[in-house]
Amino acid sequence: MKTKTDVTQLNEGQKAKVVEIHGGCGLIKKLDTLGIRPGVEIKKIGSQILKGPQILKIANTYVAIGFGMAKKIIVEKI
C-alpha cells in the first residue's frame, strides 16, 4: 500500500494524488472550487519558509494555500 501524507510533507517538484480532505464542508467546497478534490493529481511547486503558504499546481492552475489548510489535504505520492 502506498503511504499517505499531507501536502506540507511533499518535496518540491513531487507529484501526488489527493486522497481525502480532512476538513469541514466549507473547506471541502472552497478547495473544490479551485479543482482540489479527492482523485485529482497535484504537483507541489514549493513552500515558503516558516510554515508559509504551499504552492501547488493543479492542471494548469497555480494555487497558494495557507499551511494549516494544506495540512488537511491528504495525498498519496505518485
The contact mask relative to other proteins for 55-74 (x = CB under 8 A, - = no) is x--xxxxxxxxxxxx-----
Distance of closest approach, residue 3 Cβ to other proteins, in angstroms: 25
Nearest to 32, CA basis, from 63, 9, 11: 63
The angle subtended at Cα 44 by Cα 13 and Cα 5, nearest 5°, is: 105
For residue 36, give the DSSP letter.
-
The contact mask relative to other proteins for 19-38 (x = CB under 8 A, - = no) is -------x--xx-xxxx-x-
Whole-number Å distance between alpha carbons of 7 and 22: 12
| Site membership for other proteins, residue 18 (CB under 8 A) | no
Binding site for other proteins (CB under 8 A): 12, 26, 29-30, 32-35, 37, 39, 45-53, 55, 58-69
